[in-house]
A = this chain, B = another copy of it.
Amino acid sequence: MKIGVCDTTFAKVDMYQFVKKALRDVGSTDTIIRKTVPGIKDLPVACKQLLDQGCDICLALGMPGPEPIDKQCAHEASLGIIHAQLLTNKHIIEVFVHMDEANNDKELYEMCKDRAYKHAINAYWLLHNPDKLMERAGTGRRQGHDDVKPIR
């Protein structure tokens, strides 16, 4: 199958490397198609193009800035990504790491690594092994942070 990955020149961390590693680690033999765009608002149509060209799922990697206008851009991009999924009937896993989520560059880097890695696995499971997600339903899984404890 084919996995699309769209990323931006705006982001300060190359998250694509973590996606590639995760897919290799999980044993994926899927073809990866990559497209790079300037910023997060360019991601919705880029993902839609890849899905229309035959990708079975997409990962959208972006890093919104810390200002209010950046938050608004992220909101617009997210709405566009959801819209693109409804038009293609395929999943686009959004991997956004906000610059102000971390206290410093090192933390930001680790957060990018964890979130991109785990969501690449999620994308792989959605394609090849949905039971892996179902057995984790309602269990407080996090990407970019440690999991939280489920309530039973």
Contact = CB atoms under 8 A, between A and B. Distances in A.
Contacts of A142: 10
* Protomer copies: 5
A39 to B, nearest CB: 8
B16 A138 contact: yes
Contact of A80 (B77, B83, B139): B83
A78 interface: yes
Contacts of A119: 38
A137 to B, nearest CB: 4
Contacts of A75: 72, 76
Interface string A8-19: 111111111000
7 contacts: A9-B139, A14-B137, A38-B122, A44-B86, A76-B82, A79-B82, A84-B86
